[in-house]
A and B are shown apart, each in its own frame.
Chain A
């Protein structure tokens, strides 16, 4: 029996039993198919269960994340002020906003994976001292690919995945389909344990331990992703 954790999407958890614990999952698909919303729901479940969560955000700042989640009536303010969330924000970094950093709120730069890795390690040290299991989100790897040589980012994501899993985490990485060469996409898929594809109507589990190729239809409502 593979230990699973809840994704935060009820229909998905009914279908699969949840995400296998201590694995890395790729959530990918065309733009606007709900990849980030998948992440918000995963984070919301982390809030619900009192897990710690690391969040590498490349397209929005922490306050934007808070606002986007508020639109679904999901509130993370207390979770943030209780220092349960560990953020590395490369979105603010890329526009040159320099702000004061804390262990929970770090700023990095999409074109500097060396710096991202060193900040991630500092956060994982803190997380590991508090909990043997936690969640992690990387939304989105697409931005990292855009700012760097794609093969370098494959190396970075391998190292990222290894670090998260060694420290006991269960993670999500998002990626916009078609934004890199097919060959790189294949390497990306080989980096993770589970693969979920979203196309706007159908959610396909392309790979997950102990599961066959599962498909289910879904829609995005004001309660997030609803899997039928």
Chain B
């Protein structure tokens, strides 16, 4: 018996095959929609590089943004050998860029005028039955030949690909197009994968998520990735940082959001047990998976903060709502973690105590230089936790 997963064709992008239920059914199309600035070309290249090597697929790349020579160079940087596949005709180019730049075209096919792309690409698809085609970049087509002709082209190519069991991989940079157009584009492909970023003033981390699939229910999982040269797409396990002044309840909070948290700690014989090492846990929440790091609050451990802050994608700053005298220290810790550049939420902890200040009062007392959300929480009573997580994740995943 053939299982469902065995019928699928692997993309060889880590995590993506698991999320797609094994890979892509033969003859389907995938659109990679990338926010400008996010590394995207590697996805298409990795799929064909790995499939040519592991599955002996025949593949082609249609390009209107890079010359074939540049593409070969990019493959080399990622550690994939394109040359020998080109030499053995297992791979070829449709060169739509060189003629435009006044250079001789390289490859089996070339296109002088974008408007005449259809016949050439259709022929190429029938040449590679059972293989994979990469088309880059849709945004250049949209702005050169217009929206409707581009959509017509994609629909005809998809039809040809279905009858030849060819998988189409479309690369698309999402500049400021209208939403209506983006939705229409999404409608004419079988699967859409969005590449976007976690940012606060600058792009900080890159994420991919399947936002549409005709063959599997999308889970909403967001996968952090990094791109290595050589190596290609690698999964990155994001870290959330929990920081704050001494005795604000960081460990209690960390354990409340990540129940399996291990405290790498040594109990000190002080009035309160406190963390002198790290609290390390893991959280799976609404499709989001991250390691959680709780830091110690005492000043003698400040050296730890910077390296942790550099790795983090989001921060909870836990404060004791009954102790306004510690707020200055909280601000200092925000600075030391270098968390200015990542999304953060202030956890106004110990709201169950009678003398706790309200979030508004805390905002006034802290005199924050920017608008950081403050969430009332009682970590001990597990109150306000979901709200805190929702707010931080919504900041992280602003698309």
Contacts and interface: CB of A to CB of B under 8 A. Distances in A.
B65 A115 contact: yes
Contacts of A112: 65-66
B67 interface: yes
Interface stretch (B37-45, B253-261, B286-294): B37-45
6 contacts: A96-B67, A113-B36, A118-B39, A128-B201, A152-B175, A166-B202
A42 interface: no
Contacts of A149: 140, 143-144
Interface stretch (A76-84, A119-127, A193-201, A218-226): A119-127
A114 B41 contact: yes
A159 B67 CA distance: 24
A114 B203 contact: no
A111 B98 CA distance: 11
A209 interface: no
A125 B204 contact: yes
Contacts of B40: 114, 118
Contacts of B201: 128, 166-168
A155 B176 contact: yes
Contacts of B36: 113-114, 117-118, 156, 159
Nearest to B177: A155
B38 to A, nearest CB: 7
Contacts of A103: none
Contacts of B100: 111
Contact of A111 (B97, B175, B177): B97
A152 B37 contact: no
B204 A152 contact: no
Contacts of A159: 36-37, 175-176
Nearest to B65: A112
Nearest to B142: A152
Contact of A163 (B37, B204, B341): B37
Interface of A: 93-94, 96, 98, 109, 111-115, 117-118, 120-121, 124-125, 128-129, 147-149, 151-152, 155-156, 158-159, 163, 166-168
Contacts of B197: 121
B101 interface: yes
A111 B37 contact: no
Contacts of B69: 96, 98
A125 B205 CA distance: 10
Nearest to B227: A118
Contacts, number: 87
Contacts of A156: 36, 175
A124 B143 contact: no
Nearest to B141: A149
Nearest to A155: B175
B224 to A, nearest CB: 15
A108 B144 CA distance: 21
Contact of A117 (B70, B144, B173, B204): B173
B203 A121 contact: yes
Interface of B: 34, 36-41, 64-67, 69-70, 73, 97, 100-101, 137, 139-140, 143-144, 173, 175-177, 197, 201-204, 338, 341
A118 to B, nearest CB: 5
A118 B43 CA distance: 14
B378 to A, nearest CB: 36
Contact of B41 (A115, A147, A163): A115
Nearest to B176: A155
Nearest to A101: B77
A162 to B, nearest CB: 9
Q: Considering the complex of A and B, which 9 residue pairs feature the smallest CB-CB distances, nearest first?
A: A155-B175, A121-B37, A152-B143, A149-B143, A117-B36, A112-B65, A114-B173, A128-B202, A149-B144
Nearest to B204: A125
Contacts of A166: 201-202
B37 A120 contact: yes
A25 B69 CA distance: 36
Nearest to A112: B65
B70 A167 contact: no
Nearest to A158: B176
A118 B137 CA distance: 14
Contacts of B65: 109, 111-112, 114-115
Most buried by A among B39, B69, B70, B175: B175
Contacts of A118: 36-40
A188 to B, nearest CB: 14
Contacts of A109: 65-67, 70
A169 to B, nearest CB: 10
Given A128-B202, A149-B144, A159-B37, 6 more contacts: A112-B66, A121-B202, A155-B143, A155-B176, A156-B175, A158-B175
Contacts of A98: 69-70, 73
B102 to A, nearest CB: 10
Contact of A148 (B41, B140, B176): B140
A93 B73 CA distance: 12
B228 to A, nearest CB: 13
Contacts of B144: 149, 152
A112 B173 CA distance: 11
Given A128-B202, A166-B201, A114 B34 contact: yes
Contacts of B143: 148-149, 151-152, 155
Contacts of B39: 118
Nearest to B42: A118
Nearest to A125: B202
